[in-house]
Amino acid sequence: MELLKKRSFAADWLALTRASNLPTILTDAHVGIAMGILACAMARVGAPDQPLLLAATMAGMCSFYMAGMVLNGIVDRRIDAKERPDRPIASGRIRLPWAWTAFILLMTAGFFLRPSFGAAPVPIAVAGIIGVWTLSAANSMRSITLKRLAQGWCAIAVVAAIWWMVDSLLRDPFDLAQFPAETALQIRANHFALEGTTMLLAASLVVYNLVHAKTAWSIVLLALCRALVPVSLALAAAVSTGAVGSLISQINSMGSAGFSSEVFALVLVLAGGPLAIAIHTIVLSFVARREVADDATSYRCAKCGYALGGAADSSGVRPSSAEAGRCSECGCDFATTAPLGERDLSRRSKIASAFIAPLGIIPIFVLVAPALILILRQPPIPLPAAGSTHDILGFAVPAPVYMGVATLLLLVCSVWFGLAATRGYRAAISHASRRPAGVGAMIAAFALLDAAAVVAYGAPELALICIALWFATRALQRVIPAS
């Protein structure tokens, strides 16, 4: 641990990839596993029994997350050089070619570990790495000709990567001529769902990092990236057991009456967890965009939220950066949209924070709980018989006791998440000096939100893992920066 507190090779890379937040990606993945287990139960098929597939998919999601953090450091290197010069890339401790190489390798690993286990774009990744280092050499040699050739090479690699993504999405996984038309259609649908989720996540990740400094609406892409993590795991679990095909068959046999009840309930149940994660991501992002402010009187752009780098004087005159007329990040015209100044945390803000910070818990109760009640009225899942038990770590627990403990655990996790998110939110908006710690607390709160979600999905055992990962996240954030 002492090594991580010092500026070292390992510490720089762990800080660049935000390794301290990886446990929250694992908890998001557990939400997807719980969703998959529920889908399998509703389809009346066996529970997912491919732990290696799920573990590989979780590793792929972590790889995508680290790739996104590296790309964020690359794109923001000029901003960081002014506002956060101690960042690994901005300070020069990690050279730009090495950062690009890490991004390409992490993205390739994420594609390789996607649920369909299709081919990874290794040749394209190698070409991209060659282009990056050639461009670096051209800049060092100050050769314009070599620089243009390297830029063209990199552009071709990017086009090839996009073409590969589209081709992987639309191409059949194997020859389907030997299968009946209905079976072939089902295989194509499963393949499209698995590949489409991964490709959408990767595309959203890249586009977000490219546009996040230009518009505040980019946080929608960030929320989509985070919400697709449990969706990817749920599809990996459900497709591998045939639950998706079985549910489609049941829907087709239900007719319009069944569609109005059970199918609607299923959609609400499976949408609740990802929607909760997306809402918390949006709340967190609004706070994190103000993280670069210098002090409690710093001005920031009203459009994109970035700090303008100066404080008002005693007469209330705006800082010189604002007097320039336009925001250097998004180009906002201050003549029509005046910059905003931070204020001390008021009593009204303290009260409002208790409702704003835990917004992510709402879908758990508004969508998941009523949908489960609807399912129990017309149960697609066989209800436990009287006197039945649940096997928990080798112990037979009576069903009523199990349900009571699960309900209590859901309330505990929900309240815990609300308190943790509110505390982090208040710290983040109170003063710039406390903002990084507040943002870190809100990131860690993902684990508690996920714990409540997995309980709502009927897998309280996974909630204990999520809670343990919350403690792990908070411990790691003490030695590795969370933001």
The pLDDT mean for the chain works out to 79
Check whether 53 has a pLDDT greater than 80: yes
Residue 141 inside a domain? The answer is: no
Check whether 443 has a pLDDT greater than 90: yes
Yes or no: say if 309 and 349 are a contact pair by the CB < 8 Å rule.
no
Same domain, 328 and 415: no
Residue 156 inside a domain? The answer is: no
Residue 8 inside a domain? The answer is: no
Burial class (CB in 10 A: 0-12, 13-18, 19+), 381: middle
Neighbouring residues of 41: CB distance < 8 A, sequence distance ≥ 6: 47, 381, 458
pLDDT digits (tens, 9 = 90+) for 189-224: 778 888 889 999 999 999 999 998 888 888 999 999
**pLDDT value at position 141?**
87
The domain total for the chain is: 2
User: At which residue do the structure tokens 């690993």 appear?
Assistant: 109
Same domain, 189 and 317: no
Q: Which residue type occupies 388?
A: S
Check whether 445 has a pLDDT greater than 90: yes
Q: How far apart, in Å, are the Cα atoms of 240 and each of 61, 118, 178, 199, 235?
A: 18, 15, 21, 19, 8
Residue 482 inside a domain? The answer is: no
Q: Which domain, by its residues, includes 299?
A: 294-341
Same domain, 299 and 387: no
Neighbouring residues of 322: CB distance < 8 A, sequence distance ≥ 6: 299, 308, 310, 334, 339
When pLDDT is cut at 50, 70 and 90, the band that residue 394 belongs to is low
**pLDDT value at position 17?**
92
Same domain, 363 and 450: yes
Final residue belonging to a domain, choices 304, 325, 341: 341
**pLDDT value at position 152?**
92
Final residue belonging to a domain, choices 341, 367, 397: 341
**pLDDT value at position 459?**
83
Residue 63 inside a domain? The answer is: yes
Check whether 408 has a pLDDT greater than 60: yes
Same domain, 333 and 436: no
**pLDDT value at position 320?**
42
pLDDT digits (tens, 9 = 90+) for 96-125: 999 999 999 999 999 998 877 677 788 999
Residue 78 inside a domain? The answer is: yes
Same domain, 360 and 326: no
Same domain, 276 and 202: yes
How many other CB atoms are there within 10 angstroms of residue 439's CB atom? 24
How many other CB atoms are there within 10 angstroms of residue 130's CB atom? 14
Check whether 175 has a pLDDT greater than 60: yes
Q: Model-level pTM? A: 0.83
Report which of residues 112 and 352 the model is more confident about: 112
**pLDDT value at position 336?**
58
Describe the strand order of the beta sheet including 298-300 as a list of residue ranges: 307-311, 298-300, 340-341
Q: What percent of the chain has pLDDT over 70?
A: 73
Provide mean pLDDT across the span 31-56: 82
311, β-bridge pairs: 298
**pLDDT value at position 369?**
60
Same domain, 350 and 241: yes
- The 3-state DSSP composition of the chain as helix, strand, coil percent (nearest 5) reads 70, 5, 25
402-428 in b/e form (b: 16+ CB < 10 A) is beeebeebbebbbebbbebbbbbbbbb
Same domain, 74 and 221: yes
**pLDDT value at position 266?**
67
Q: Which two tokens stand for residue 71?
A: 């790309």
**pLDDT value at position 342?**
46
326, β-bridge pairs: 333
Report which of residues 441 and 185 the model is more confident about: 441
User: At which residue do the structure tokens 């103000």 appear?
Assistant: 290
Of 87-101, 182-196, 445-459, least confident by mean pLDDT is 182-196
Alpha-carbon distance of 216 to 234, in angstroms, equals: 30
Residue 139 inside a domain? The answer is: no
pLDDT digits (tens, 9 = 90+) for 19-31: 999 999 999 999 9
Same domain, 71 and 45: yes
Alpha-carbon distance of 252 to 169, in angstroms, equals: 26
Residue 436 inside a domain? The answer is: yes
Same domain, 111 and 183: yes
Same domain, 392 and 348: yes
DSSP codes, 321-369: HHHTSB-TTT--BTTTSPPEE-----HHHHHHHHHHGGGGGHHIIIIIH
